[in-house]
Structure 1
Amino acid sequence: WDNVFVPEESARPRPVRSWDTTLKIFSSWVPSTNACYLGLAQAARDWAINWARERTQLPFDRPMSHYPGNQFLAAEMEIGLRAARAMLLQTATALSELAVRTEPPIMDIIACHQFVMETAVSVVDKAMRLVGGAALFRSAPLEQRYRDVRAAIIHQPFAGHDGLGWLGKLAFGIPHDIMPRWV
């Protein structure tokens, strides 16, 4: 079926599905939401790193930044933030094109959302571990960031198991709006 011409009056457009408009709307705000949560994770990481640089625990005379376990946590946070930032930048840049906004690459959007949100939660968790019990005090900003970043994993429709279900369906070539969900 190569080089076949179908006149406009004979073409039958794909029927509008129930999620088409919703997907176009969500695709525009997902990068912004992801950027907010990535910012929370970055702020938590920065605060924890600075805290560990200045904090010493008896009987040791060096700051907590010299502890290998804390160095591993810092490295894991750095890797996660850099990977999430790169994925978010790539996805957001692609969405800036008008043609892409009219037919958004839903798999890219959901994958980016899942990855950035889970990474943000993971980075804040690692910052909490690095700081330890002091992170739970309301006087420390980590306590607030820990609660705030948890909202990332419940932002629908692309979060949690719903988002993974959509992504899995699309990976198998199953339309995401086929009902019932298990068919």
Structure 2
Amino acid sequence: MNSIQSDPFVRNEREKEIASRSDRLADLFEKRAALHDREGSFPFENFADLRESGYLALTVPKEFGGEEASLYEMILAQERLAKGDGSTALAVGWHVSQMLQLRMNLSWPQKLYTDFCRRVVEEGAMINKFASEPSTGSPSRGGRPQTAAVRTEGGYLLTGRKTFSSLIPILDQFTVTAFVEDEEQVCTFFVRKGPGVSIEETWDTLGMRGTGSHDLLLDAVFVPEDAKIENSDGEGAVGSGMSDHGGALLHIPACYLGIAWAARDFAVKFAADYRPNSLPGPIAELPHIQQKIGEMESELITARTLLYSVADRWDRLPAARASMKPELGLTKTVATNAALRIVDLAMRIVGGSSLSRSLPLERMYRDVRAGLHNPPMEDTVIAMLAQRAIREAGGL
């Protein structure tokens, strides 16, 4: 049965079209995934396909020629894309989620935003925001960036190093956080590749090897005054939008559930087809194999239901977004842990051959582990849930 027809989370014709495009792209990416994983190389050809298909304009406003996808539609597209290659889905997810955030919070100067949206639609331009640094760790922990912005005539000079800079091999522009010393505040700057910008190829990891998340080096990079976007409080040049309160980060759990979904499909097909000569039929008929398949289904259905219900509520109730932060974080935590469990079960079903690089499961097993280190972190989510429960009980 066609997976789109049987998917309860595809609700209408527009969503069917979005899902179909992602399925077509995933089929292409799947054929290249093993090679890029083995080499740790960036899949430039995948991004050429994304550009050609119009995918990069998924969350750009319609007034600039984009598709103006909702959060629900974005995660639908991202989850299915990840079935083909998790690295590509996670990497492009930073771009489409950034464009969704920008559409919500209107933090860029109007001309910069308008021009960039048109470039995304017409040229396939992409963006990501780089905030992680070696000495501060995840920006979600609140560390002050060591990257410094020093005032100079007509703008600023930026110097520093950013880590986990996904997409950097293909980006012509990006935003970075930096501490403006004479203003005593953290600001975000729009930076174009040019003099003083370099890449140190440090990304050689266990999983998600094709995201191109190398270190970005800035050495007295000039940024004009009008490319200073916002300060640490999110006060931008436009400032009339609203925060997404982390909603766009649902592209992360969508990616890991997509990988897990692909692992589930592989394992179930293997179980239905594999007939060892010690058995009268396929291993899918064995009770302990059916137990594992049922456990995979339980994990996948539960996590997907939470993911899509939270996204739907976020779309429908803008005024409630600020109070949904614990649920958004919980969705990521539940999805990531479910993905780990599903891929583990898939490998147990397939057996020792699942360790072979000739099969995709060992790559999927490594890729889903990366979800543990994407924001928000599990301890932070659990603390938020606990604090809210205590407040509701009148304890704080």
Given candidates 358, 377, 387, the residue that maps to 1:139 is 358
* Structure 1 unaligned blocks of 5 or more: 1-17, 175-183
Corresponding residue of 1:49: 268
Corresponding residue of 1:114: 333
How many residue pairs match? The answer is: 153
CA contact (8 A) 2:247 2:328 kept: no
CA contact (8 A) 1:110 1:167 kept: no
Q: Distance in 2 between matches of 1:151 and 1:173?
A: 33
Corresponding residue of 1:129: 348
Given candidates 338, 359, 370, the residue that maps to 1:151 is 370
Alpha carbons of structure 1 residues 170 and 50: separation in structure 2 relative to 1, 3 Å: same
Deviation (angstroms), 1:25 = 5.6
Q: Does residue 37 of the first structure (1) align with residue 262 of the second (2)? A: no
Letter of the 2:319 partner, please give it: A
Query: Could you report, residue by residue, the CA deviation over 1:92-115 in whole angstroms, capped at 9, with x for unpaired residues?
Result: 1112243244x2511211221211
Question: Which of 138-147 and 163-172 deviates more?
Answer: 163-172
Query: Could you report, residue by residue, the CA deviation over 1:73-102 in whole angstroms, capped at 9, with x for unpaired residues?
Result: 11111111111111101111112243244x
Corresponding residue of 1:83: 302
Q: Distance in 2 between matches of 1:172 and 1:33?
A: 28
TM-score for both structures, normalised by structure 1: 0.75
Corresponding residue of 1:99: 319
Letter of the 1:61 partner, please give it: P
Corresponding residue of 2:382: 164
Letter of the 1:99 partner, please give it: A
More contact order relative to length (CA 8 Å, sep ≥ 6): 1
Deviation (angstroms), 1:26 = 6.1
Q: Distance in 2 between matches of 1:45 and 1:162?
A: 29
Q: Distance in 1 between matches of 2:349 and 2:259?
A: 16
Query: Could you report, residue by residue, the CA deviation over 1:116-155 in whole angstroms, capped at 9, with x for unpaired residues?
Result: 1111111111111111111110010101100000111221
Question: Which of 43-52 and 110-119 deviates more?
Answer: 110-119
Letter of the 2:266 partner, please give it: W
SS at match of 2:386: helix
Letter of the 1:146 partner, please give it: Y
Deviation (angstroms), 1:51 = 0.8
Alpha carbons of structure 1 residues 54 and 99: separation in structure 2 relative to 1, 3 Å: same
* Structure 2 unaligned blocks of 5 or more: 1-141, 143-231, 235-242
Deviation (angstroms), 1:20 = 7.7
Q: Distance in 2 between matches of 1:70 and 1:26?
A: 42
Query: Could you report, residue by residue, the CA deviation over 1:28-69 in whole angstroms, capped at 9, with x for unpaired residues?
Result: 322211111111110000000001111122321311111111
More strand by share: 2
Q: Distance in 1 between matches of 2:259 and 2:267?
A: 12
RMSD: 2.2
TM-score for both structures, normalised by structure 2: 0.36
Query: Could you report, residue by residue, the CA deviation over 1:3-31 in whole angstroms, capped at 9, with x for unpaired residues?
Result: xxxxxxxxxxxxxxx8986xx56613222
Letter of the 1:137 partner, please give it: S
CA contact (8 A) 2:314 2:320 kept: yes
CA contact (8 A) 2:347 2:354 kept: yes
Shift >6 Å, 4+ stretches: none
Question: Which of 41-50 and 59-68 deviates more?
Answer: 59-68
Q: Does residue 173 of the first structure (1) align with residue 391 of the second (2)? A: yes
